[in-house]
Amino acid sequence: MTKWSLGYEILRAFVRFLFRRFYKEVNSTGNENIPNGKPMIFAANHQNALMDPLAIIFTNPNQTVFLTRADIFDNPILLKIFSFFKMLPVYRIKDGADSLKNNERIFNKSVEILEAKMSVALFPEASHTDKRHLKTLKKAVPRIAFMAEEKNDFNLDLQIVPVGIYYEDYVHTNSRLFINYGKPLSLKPFKEMAVENKQKAYIAFKNKLEETIKELIIHIKDMNNYNLYEGIRLFYRPLMRKKLNIEEDTNLNNFKADRETTDRLFDYYENSDESIEDLSSLFSSFKKSCKKLAIKPILNNRKNSFNIIARIILFIIGLPIFVYGFINNILIYFLFSTLINKIKDKQFHSSVKFAISFTILPIIYFIQSGIFYAFIGDWSLTIAYLFSLGFTAHFANKYRYNWIDYMQDFRLWINSLRNSKAYKEYEDSKNSLIQFLDNIYN
């Protein structure tokens, strides 16, 4: 793990190709903050099980060694796979008090990796969460970092790179993923403190790292009203982009708008005597009006008739490809639904889908192509069929999500033409909510 691996790089290129098609869009910013030729620790928020390590692996050039939860190494086959992927187990108290002593060996191995000017990554929250909120960090990062620097008389020049990971949707494919690399931190300012009191230095650095990561993520502070903040974040996003003069719908712009929306909303209620219940009541009314129209509680703009008609024509044209893709991938869809229904923790759903996509799916495709050849007996057609499976599966997936979005636009459009009671309620509640929020943000 202390050396560059050609086999790892070849496999990473293949898996990266699939990973970027698993999501609608994958972007990273701050990559210039990743130093070259220096030992590094990537310290990231933990949002989405095994997708988080992959998000870092595929958006920076380093062959990073990941420290991850030990229980996933229990299976001997998985142990070999994860070891090839440069992953090391970290033991938690829930793994048993006796197992914690194994961490000393893992941390020593991490120091060796850093001394070889390689990079290590871990999630200092120690567990993932389905909330856009950074939990209190554990001491693993400062412990490893100070071990490495102390062993080298603080001449290692270790760089701790904070990372913020943002998912538009934790569970479903065809969503957006955004990785935010922050400016690296050094232990040199904490050297004297560490000599006097190591635990004090640990805590001081941990607090500094925690504040730095918060600047790179959507950190909703008011957990008592979390769902309200989450709803307002999505509803007000296009209006906040406009206020910030970044109207283009991109990952980075959405991140900036979401941060501004949640942070300013928290500051407003933190520094005023106003009750958040008024906003909660308005948003509840808006959600009820959306439910009557069977649309999402976001700022839905009514589409014109040409847009609605043109899109349905495109759906009709693409329908044969969708049917072909759906039928030829129905076994995969069944496998997805069967396995996912058995997993209670939704943060693992994307990980399971992706694992199936790059392991079991190619095998099924080759078996189906073998059956196809047995019936057709033509190699050229069989190869064409094999390549069509992945393309049409991707098309069918996007078709389904686009259809869901279209049906929302269609329902809003048809109700607006009828000027239905439900549409009037929607417009009234939407405008009242916008006016209320505009008064806060202006």
Residue 439 pLDDT greater than 90, yes or no:
yes
If we measure between CA atoms, which residue out of 29, 264, 63, 34 comes closest to residue 164?
29
- Comparing 87 with 276, the larger pLDDT belongs to 276
- Contacting residues for 291 by C-beta, under 8 A, at least 6 apart: none
- In this predicted structure, what is the pLDDT of residue 71? 67
- Comparing 84 with 143, the larger pLDDT belongs to 143
Residue 20 pLDDT greater than 70, yes or no:
yes
What mean pLDDT do residues 178-185 have? 96
281-330 pLDDT tens trace = 999 999 999 999 999 999 888 889 999 999 999 999 999 999 999 999 99
Percent of the chain with pLDDT over 90: 72
Handedness of CA 49, 212, 167, 279 (dihedral sign): positive
Which two three-digit tokens encode residue 133? Answer: 């909120």
pLDDT band at 280; cut points 50, 70, 90: very high
pLDDT band at 77; cut points 50, 70, 90: low
CB 107 within 8 A of CB 143: yes
The radius of gyration of the chain from alpha carbons, rounded to an integer in Å, stands at 25
Residue 107 pLDDT greater than 90, yes or no:
no
d(C-alpha 177, C-alpha 49), whole Å: 14
Domains of the chain: 6-214 (3.40.1130.10), 223-274 (no CATH), 305-426 (no CATH)
CB 58 within 8 A of CB 177: no
What mean pLDDT do residues 356-360 have? 86
Instruction: Name the pTM for this structure.
Output: 0.90
Measured CA distances, 128 to 179, 219, 437 (Å): 16, 14, 31
d(C-alpha 393, C-alpha 399), whole Å: 10
Span of 70-79, 148-157, 238-247 with lowest mean pLDDT: 70-79
Angle between helices 349-358 and 360-376 (to 10 degrees): 40
Q: b/e map of 194-219 (b: 16 or more CB within 10 Å)?
A: beeeeeebbebbbebbbebbbebbbb
